[in-house]
Amino acid sequence: MSVITYRQALRDTLRAEMVRDENVLVMGEEIGVFEGSYKITEGLLKEFGPRRVKDTPIAEEGFVGAAIGAAMLGLRPVVELMTINFSLIAIDQIINHAAKIYGMFGGQTSVPMVIRTPGGGGQQLGATHSQNIELFYSFIPGLKVLAPSTPAEASSMLRAAIRDDDPVLFLENLGLYNTKGEVPEDYAQPENDDVATIGRAAVTREGSDITLIGYSRMAMVATQVAEKLAQEDISVEVVDLRSLRPLDRQTFVDSVKKTGAAVICEDDWLTYGIGAEIAASIQEGAFDYLDAPVRRVAMAEVPMPYAKPLETAALPSVESISTAIKETLSAVGKRVG
């Protein structure tokens, strides 16, 4: 095992997949000469040349659509959208076309492409650059939406996304790029076949008092919460969703059946958010096992402010999630440390 950053895991895995498969090309704004706004594509232009590393104009609908068309002819484009906020410009191509082409043509052609895109608040980027709008894509049958939280997940899930025959939205939270974690020694080898199964959640920490469910950056925060509460003798089981579509309900429902309580933490807005779907699924799958209502900790429902104290207050934190867990447990008379 070696310890690397989330950014490094993405960069090395992307390169390895390009070495492995001639059909893999990368496209996007500033990914070549500039080497990527977040440096995920650093070095790729020098190594693979402009045929396989294509700088695009600032025209998201045009180049995302072009990637879809290229995928229909068997290429495997990996598109970088500089931020998920810009995906809104391309949303017609993603939802009306990438997601539908396999179905509306009766399975005659598929769209084997990946859209990698970072998002999330906490960087003082203001209202239009701090959003987590993965809900839009997670709502759509035909798309696959992945949200890895650790370097090891990022590597095996990116490999899975590139080798998958369907369009995959690959979400990277800005707050994760510099986080570190263990990866297998051969994570960057082109012959590495450690491919994650798309559509599986993971219990990343076992516990007995309550289930805490998160994804992407919030899965990482959830682990911090669990570690903190462990010192107060509260045993938190953490579920990392990893895949928002398909959604692995069974894993978190089984966890809730074991613990009897659940808190969901999410980096998106509360109303209609991912957490609403999780909570509804728990109700449908584990109602009889619940000792308390399911709680959701989500972003404040405001356009994200720029000022640091306001932005910090708008985001879920270790403290706010811990409070929600304690309140849930005390409501049913469980010990709260």
Partner 1 sequence: MADTTAKPKGAAARSSGTRRRGRKNTSPGLGDEKPEELLDYYRRMLFIRRFEERTAQAYTQARIGGYCHLNLGEEATVVGLLDALRPDDYLFTNYRDHGYAIEKGMDPKKVMAELYGRADGVSKGWGGSMHMYDTATRMLGGYGIVGGQLPLATGAALAISYRGGDEVVVCQMGDGTTNIGAWHESLNIAKLWNLPIVFVVINNFTGMGTTVEMSSAEPELYKRGSAFRIEGVRVDGRDVLAVRDTTAELVERARKEQTPFLLEAWSYRQKGHSVVDPAKYRTEEQWEQARADENDPITLFEAKLAEAGVLTDELREEIAASVKAEVAEAADFAENSPHPDVSTLFDYTYATPVPNESRRMPADPVFAE
Instruction: Indicate whether 246 belongs to the interface with partner 1 (CB under 8 A).
Output: yes
**Given candidates 141, 231, 271, 333, which one binds partner 1 under the rule CB under 8 A?**
141
Where does this chain touch partner 1 (CB under 8 A) — which range of 41-49, 97-105, 210-218, 268-276?
Answer: 97-105
Catalytic residue chosen out of the listed positions 17, 60, 80, 172: 60
Instruction: Indicate whether 238 belongs to the interface with partner 1 (CB under 8 A).
Output: no
> Is the Cβ–Cβ distance between 72 and 100 less than 8 Å?
no
User: For partner 1, which is the closer residue by CB, 112 or 316?
Assistant: 112
Distance CA 278, CA 211 (A): 12
CB atoms within 10 A of CB 208: 12
Instruction: Indicate whether 309 belongs to the interface with partner 1 (CB under 8 A).
Output: no
DSSP 106-120: TTS-----EEEEEE-
**Given candidates 6, 38, 102, 177, which one binds partner 1 under the rule CB under 8 A?**
102
Distance CA 93, CA 188 (A): 31
Query: Closest distance between partner 1 and the C-beta of residue 96, in Å?
Result: 5
**Given candidates 10, 26, 68, 321, which one binds partner 1 under the rule CB under 8 A?**
68
Active site annotation includes 60: yes
Work out the burial of residue 233: count CB atoms within 10 Å of its CB; fewer than 13 is exposed, 13-18 middle, 19 or more buried: exposed
Instruction: Indicate whether 138 belongs to the interface with partner 1 (CB under 8 A).
Output: no
Where does this chain touch partner 1 (CB under 8 A) — which range of 136-144, 179-187, 220-228, 300-308?
Answer: 136-144
Instruction: Indicate whether 142 belongs to the interface with partner 1 (CB under 8 A).
Output: yes
Instruction: Indicate whether 240 belongs to the interface with partner 1 (CB under 8 A).
Output: no
Q: Which of 126, 119, 120 is nearest to 307 (CA)?
A: 126
Binding mask 157-196 for partner 1 (x = CB under 8 A): -------xxx------------------------------
Instruction: Indicate whether 200 belongs to the interface with partner 1 (CB under 8 A).
Output: yes
Alpha helices by DSSP H, the chain: 6-20, 44-48, 60-72, 91, 101-104, 134-138, 151-163, 217-230, 249-259, 274-286, 308-314, 318-331
Distance CA 2, CA 184 (A): 7
Active site annotation includes 29: no
Distance CA 191, CA 46 (A): 22
**Given candidates 83, 87, 93, 173, which one binds partner 1 under the rule CB under 8 A?**
93
Contacts 24+ apart (CB under 8 A), 102-108: 102/142, 102/166, 103/141, 103/142
3-state DSSP call for residue 336? coil
Amino acid residing at 224? Q
Instruction: Indicate whether 21 belongs to the interface with partner 1 (CB under 8 A).
Output: no
Query: Closest distance between partner 1 and the C-beta of residue 44, in Å?
Result: 16
Residue 11 phi/psi, 5-degree rounding, is: -60, -50
The continuous run of DSSP H or E covering 146 comes out as strand 144-146
**Given candidates 248, 266, 267, 268, which one binds partner 1 under the rule CB under 8 A?**
248
Instruction: Indicate whether 30 belongs to the interface with partner 1 (CB under 8 A).
Output: no
Instruction: Indicate whether 105 belongs to the interface with partner 1 (CB under 8 A).
Output: yes
Interface residues with partner 1 (CB under 8 A)? Answer: 25, 51, 54, 56-57, 59, 61-75, 77, 92-93, 96-97, 101-110, 112, 141-142, 144, 164-166, 197-200, 243, 246-250, 253, 281, 284-285
As annotated, the active-site residues are 60, 129
